[in-house]
Structure 1
Amino acid sequence: MRRIAVLTSGGDSPGMNAAVRAVVRKAIYHDCKVFGVYRGYAGMIEGDIKELHLGSVGDIIHRGGTMLHSSRSEEFKTAEGQLKAVEQLKKHGIEGVIVVGGDGSYRGAQKLSEHGIATVGAPGTIDNDIPGTDFTIGFDTALNTIIQSIDKIRDTASSHERTYIIEVMGRHAGDLALLSGLAGGAETILLPEIENNMGDIIDRLDRGAKRGKKHSIIVVAEGIGSGVDVAKDIEKRTNLETRVTVLGHIQRGGSPTGFDRVLASRLGAYAVDLLLEGKSGVAVGLEKHQLVHYPFEEIFSKPHQIDKQIYELSGQLSI
């Protein structure tokens, strides 16, 4: 295999550029030509493909977002769209593709593999919701962004003696809410994986008020509903004054942490190794600090799970 392509797809995450850099430079180290597919699968269908060189990925390891840009393509979900994409890859002589993204991106990579294009996936998403790896590229950076925000909000919460609801990303996965809530000292954490009882939340707030606590932080994963609705419910049931902060897309931006840069570099380079070994239809990951890879089918069959021990610990420490 001498011609490899790399693309980023779905929601961007800090560290994607570090992964692209690793793919390009590791492939060139092995005397391969590398092509960047711009704008994800949509760009692949349109033939927005350019050869990348060592200098093409210079000075990007510290930048958030993705130099290849990203998009979601409805056309690629169709058989006709997939055949157009394969035709473009063959036109450029590309034999293998490395896809950096989340679940939807992996499913697209699996389709390419079924059409005879060797594919390897690398987990790029801030949600940390991809099985087969302990951490996804961008999760650590987003986590630290949220923690910094919680710290700042706590300052004003204590000054005005209010209860603050902080809504974070995580439509189907509560890892960001869970770990940021624990690290930020939140009194309550609401996750899509755990059934939430408003009565228990009110009891916890009442206990805090009785011992003289003047403010509280509640972290809400967007998957359980609106932080605004949670705040309204609390105000109906108590005399507490609440405020809501929805962090939104600030969580996706920023320079990647050292952890994410190293993770992305290792996974990107490992993906190249697997392609050169003849592997296809697999995703790379990091488990117990070791590089691993699993077939896409196995990744899709495993449900995402949170660490319930950490959830229990957060409750024990916020009494």
Structure 2
Amino acid sequence: MRKYHHIAAWVVFALSVLVCCLFCLRWRQGQEEKQLLDTSRQADCWKQAGCGWVRVSAEVLAFNGVIAAKNTYADFVSHFDDQVKLVRLNSMGGDVDSALKIARVMAAHKVDVEVRGLCFSSCANYLLLAGQRKVIHGLVGYHGCLSCFDVDANLVVAHSKDAPLSAALIEHRILEFKKFQLSEGSFFRNRGISMGILKVSNRPDKGRNDGKVYLMLIPSRAQLEADGWKGLEGEQDWGLARAFNRLYQQKKADLPIVYDAPALHGWSGVRDKLETGILSTVIGRI
């Protein structure tokens, strides 16, 4: 009888440990989801208090929110000077023209860049890339670039808010697109990247080959370095990446993201794999 009591006690103990572990896991997941929601609200803000450029100190400039076409560049210029050594970012992206102009100024002054939260789209394509040191404390995400497209009338119409467009206006905007592509391509070449990650992230399935649509591709630091990125420090916050997809499953996010599997870290020859789309066989989401 004692033997059975002993076994029962161990079973109760094991179940208690399991319940405790599950509780702790869910608590941690809840904290990650709260952190992501709080961060994304700041990264996606427009005119609220705390949005835009803020001079934190003589040497530190911070940006929270959406990169707007009308005033973000002018606001940046009014806050930036030769004393700035570090730019902190938390942005969902925004206007590509403004972002590229800001990035060129940052690159010319050789400032360091730190992601504190999210850096998606044009924030990742240009602002982060402009840094001498690029420190990641959050998530950096990509969904293509204008140089990844073949520009034609269909693309212009798809990206236009005006309707209908005259043939002359379509032709004018095609020329504008191509002019930006030349400027963007020049920036990428000067920063030394191969655009492999951008090309994969430009696809709706972000390289998964599963016919589904994803919001962003979240590459690892090793993949970015293999693609030509220099001066990287830190790593993607995989806890936030998993939280993003849990929020999608809870219908609190419009689309899931594709993020790197730890097995890819330290791969050699990742650049070729990215450019041929082989990456899709090993990247997954939870």
Same fold at TM > 0.5 = no
Where relative contact order (Cα < 8 A, 6+ residues apart) is larger, the structure is 1
TM-score class normalised by the smaller sequence: under 0.3
| TM-score, length of structure 2 as denominator length | 0.26
